């Protein structure tokens, strides 16, 4: 198997690298390289820069205004942006709901929603999970009742990532209680500024406000916001989940964080310690193996095969790797990496840090934050069940 890139692909990589160097604001890449907190303006600012270039929807085909890149080009773009210290593209719009609108939305919906996603102007949130309906997603209870030319939505979503910024939300709603639970679900696009929508923060272990509860109290949603057919939402939801799980693997971020781990280990004097080096080497091998798997999924997606099964594998390995590098960073810092100083996540923090190495200050927050990765996007236990049933047989 030839794993090297062609001269055209190398040239493409260099073009992306040069453009990112020119256009990625330094204050943003500084925050990313040092694991500092990114504001809404940082995240959306970068999204808009990419949008202007036509690269926010970097996985989109040309017919919908995307660059029409191959799987390899997409991978190279992700790698170059991650290594340069660009923030992760917030996936809910360009990576998750856009492919559903392209595949199952009508021409009117495509014209209405895709440009705002491609430009980074409109912030989307994901309304799948509910209290009691996470792993068992097909049991969602949020009800959408058809009344003339609109739906009346009542219920609650939870764990809505960055929902405090959301303009729009794509939701799984119950439109029927007949038959199997999966057959009564619809996929509805909801304007979060509608009367009756309440967003409440959930504070996480790391002290940050990353997720929310969202309540719907008689929210009116025009029926034209229904994607595809009523009660067929489960099919569309699954289409989206393969994109979500592949995205969570985030192999290029792992490569960047591996370099950060090495920097921390060197500055703390443990990099030459053989046992520590063994652990770093094992992590590096796992990251390379994950990268090979990502390339396989991307090429399967290009040839039109459903990559949902392998996407589960990617999600498991990618999330475990994210937790592992955050653990090794803590180990490198030893007791000095323990204090949880939330303010240390802010750029320009001037406080004192025990041990004197400010690179250790955000480690506890990152460590806590990474605990989420084996839960969200479908927990790893559930992914293992799926892999066992669909891949191993
Ligand atoms: C930080 C974060 C961000 C999130 N963002 C979003 C978002 O933006 N939008 C959204 O819709 N959702 C979001 N989620 C929700 C996420 O998808 C769910 O948390 C996840 O699907 C698990 O569901 P649950 O929390 O209800 O846990 P449960 O389903 O109650 O599971 C509890 C435990 O039981 C285990 N378990 C459950 N069923 C089985 C089984 N059959 N076999 C073996 N073990 C099982 C699970 O692995 C888990 O350990 C987010 C979650 C987190 C933590």
The residue behind tokens 């999204």 is 47
Residue 169's nearest CA partner among 199, 135, 201 is 199
- Measured from the Cβ of residue 266, the count of other Cβ atoms closer than 10 Å reads 12
**Alpha carbon of 382 to ligand 1 centroid (Å):** 9
- C-beta of 126 in contact with ligand 1 (< 6 A): yes
CB 252 within 8 A of CB 83: yes
- C-beta of 135 in contact with ligand 1 (< 6 A): yes
Protein fold of 124-231 = Butyryl-CoA Dehydrogenase, subunit A; domain 2 (2.40.110)
What are φ and ψ of residue 347, in 5° steps? Answer: -60, 140
Is residue 246 helix, strand or coil? helix
Q: Which residues neighbour 347 within 8 Å (Cβ) at sequence distance 6 or greater?
A: 27, 30, 31, 36, 37
- Measured from the Cβ of residue 73, the count of other Cβ atoms closer than 10 Å reads 19
Q: State how beta strands 124-127 and 168-174 pair.
A: parallel
Residue range(s) occupied by CATH 1.20.140.10 in the chain = 250-392
Beta partners for residue 200, in sequence order: 213
pLDDT interval class at 298 (50, 70, 90): low
Task: Please state whether 357 falls in left (phi above 0), alpha (psi between -120 and 50) or beta.
Answer: beta
CA distance 253 to 260: 11
Q: Which CATH superfamily is domain 250-392 in?
A: Butyryl-CoA Dehydrogenase, subunit A, domain 3 (1.20.140.10)
The residue behind tokens 């390339």 is 295
CB 243 within 8 A of CB 95: yes
- C-beta of 375 in contact with ligand 1 (< 6 A): yes
Q: State pLDDT tens for residues 152-195.
A: 999 999 999 999 999 999 999 999 999 999 999 999 999 999 99
Write the DSSP assignment of 183-242 as a string of letters.
GGEEEEEEETTSTTEEEEEE--TTS---EEEEEEEEEEEEGGGEESSTT-HHHHHHHHHH
Is residue 225 helix, strand or coil? helix
- C-beta of 161 in contact with ligand 1 (< 6 A): yes
Helix H or strand E encompassing 171: strand 168-174
pLDDT at 2 exceeding the cut of 60 = no
**Alpha carbon of 187 to ligand 1 centroid (Å):** 20
* Cα-trace Rg, the chain: 21
**Atom of ligand 1 lying closest to residue 126 CA:** 9
Residue 244, both tokens: 């979500």
The residue behind tokens 């034209």 is 224
**Alpha carbon of 389 to ligand 1 centroid (Å):** 19
**Alpha carbon of 379 to ligand 1 centroid (Å):** 5
Q: Let me know if 90 is exposed, middle or buried by CB neighbors in 10 A (0-12, 13-18, 19+).
A: buried
CB 139 within 8 A of CB 234: no
Q: State pLDDT tens for residues 206-254.
A: 889 999 999 999 999 999 999 999 999 999 998 887 667 767 788 999 9
Residue of 123, 129, 138, 213 with the most ligand 1 atoms within 8 Å of its CB, for mutation: 129
- C-beta of 376 in contact with ligand 1 (< 6 A): yes
The residue behind tokens 């392998």 is 310
**Alpha carbon of 22 to ligand 1 centroid (Å):** 40
Residue 273, both tokens: 């310690």
CA distance 231 to 97: 18
- C-beta of 372 in contact with ligand 1 (< 6 A): yes
**Atom of ligand 1 lying closest to residue 211 CA:** 3
Whether the predicted model's global pTM rises above the 0.75 cut? yes
Q: What is the DSSP letter of 3?
A: -
pLDDT at 389 exceeding the cut of 90 = no
Q: Which residues neighbour 51 within 8 Å (Cβ) at sequence distance 6 or greater?
A: 118, 119, 120, 121
Residue range(s) occupied by CATH 2.40.110.10 in the chain = 124-231
**Alpha carbon of 249 to ligand 1 centroid (Å):** 17
CA distance 284 to 262: 11
CB 352 within 8 A of CB 291: no
Q: What is the DSSP letter of 302?
A: H
Q: State pLDDT tens for residues 76-129.
A: 999 999 999 999 999 999 999 999 999 999 999 999 999 999 999 999 999 999
**Atom of ligand 1 lying closest to residue 161 CA:** 8
**Alpha carbon of 263 to ligand 1 centroid (Å):** 34
User: Residue range 46-58: average pLDDT?
Assistant: 98
Residue 240's nearest CA partner among 127, 146, 341, 336 is 127
**Atom of ligand 1 lying closest to residue 92 CA:** 8
Please give the mean pLDDT across all residues of the chain: 92
Ligand 1 atom 4: residue of nearest CA: 159
pLDDT of residue 294: 81
Q: State pLDDT tens for residues 27-42.
A: 999 999 999 999 999 9
Alpha-carbon dihedral of residues 136, 242, 209, 44, nearest 10 degrees? -150
**Atom of ligand 1 lying closest to residue 204 CA:** 1
- C-beta of 160 in contact with ligand 1 (< 6 A): yes
CB 240 within 8 A of CB 100: yes
Ligand 1 atom 39: residue of nearest CA: 382
pLDDT of residue 310: 78
**Atom of ligand 1 lying closest to residue 210 CA:** 1
**Alpha carbon of 296 to ligand 1 centroid (Å):** 26
CB 140 within 8 A of CB 130: yes
Opening angle at CA 200, ends 130 and 91, nearest 5: 65
Q: State how beta strands 197-202 and 211-222 pair.
A: antiparallel
Residue of 375, 384, 386, 387 with the most ligand 1 atoms within 8 Å of its CB, for mutation: 375
């Amino acid at each position: 198997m030839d794993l090297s890139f062609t001269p055209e692909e190398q040239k493409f990589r260099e073009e992306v690298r040069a453009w990112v160097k020119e256009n990625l604001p330094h204050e943003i890449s500084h925050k990313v390289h040092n694991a500092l907190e990114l504001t809404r303006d940082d995240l959306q600012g970068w999204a808009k820069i990419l949008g202007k270039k036509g690269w926010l929807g970097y996985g989109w085909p040309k017919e919908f205004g995307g660059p029409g890149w191959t799987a390899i080009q997409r991978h190279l773009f992700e790698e170059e942006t991650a290594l340069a210290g660009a923030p992760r593209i917030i996936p809910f719009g360009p990576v998750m709901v856009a492919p559903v609108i392209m595949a199952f939305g009508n021409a009117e919906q495509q014209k209405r929603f895709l440009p705002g996603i491609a430009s980074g102007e409109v912030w989307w949130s994901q309304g799948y999970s509910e209290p009691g309906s996470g792993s068992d997603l097909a049991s969602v209870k949020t009800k959408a009742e058809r009344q003339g030319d609109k739906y009346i939505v009542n219920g609650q979503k939870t764990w809505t990532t960055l929902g405090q910024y959301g303009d729009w939300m794509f939701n799984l709603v119950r439109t029927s209680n007949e038959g199997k639970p999966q057959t009564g679900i619809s996929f509805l696009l909801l304007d979060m500024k509608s009367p009756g929508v309440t967003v409440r923060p959930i504070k996480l272990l790391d002290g940050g406000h990353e997720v929310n509860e969202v309540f719907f109290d008689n929210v009116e949603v025009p029926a034209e916001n229904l994607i595809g057919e009523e009660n067929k939402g489960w099919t569309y939801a699954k289409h989206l989940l393969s994109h979500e799980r592949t995205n969570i693997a985030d192999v290029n971020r792992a490569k960047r964080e591996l370099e950060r781990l090495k920097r921390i280990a060197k500055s703390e004097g443990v990099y030459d310690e053989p046992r520590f080096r063994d652990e770093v080497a094992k992590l590096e091998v796992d990251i390379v193996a994950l990268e090979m798997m990502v390339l396989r999924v991307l090429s399967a997606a290009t040839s039109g095969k459903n990559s949902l099964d392998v996407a589960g594998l990617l999600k498991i390995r990618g999330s475990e790797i994210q937790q592992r590098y955050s653990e090794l960073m803590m180990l490198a810092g030893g007791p000095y990496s323990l204090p949880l100083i939330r303010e240390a996540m802010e750029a320009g923090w001037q406080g004192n840090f025990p041990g004197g190495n400010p690179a250790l200050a955000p480690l506890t927050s990152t460590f806590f934050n990474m605990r989420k990765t084996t839960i969200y996007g479908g927990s790893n236990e559930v992914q293992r069940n799926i892999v066992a049933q669909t891949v191993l047989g």
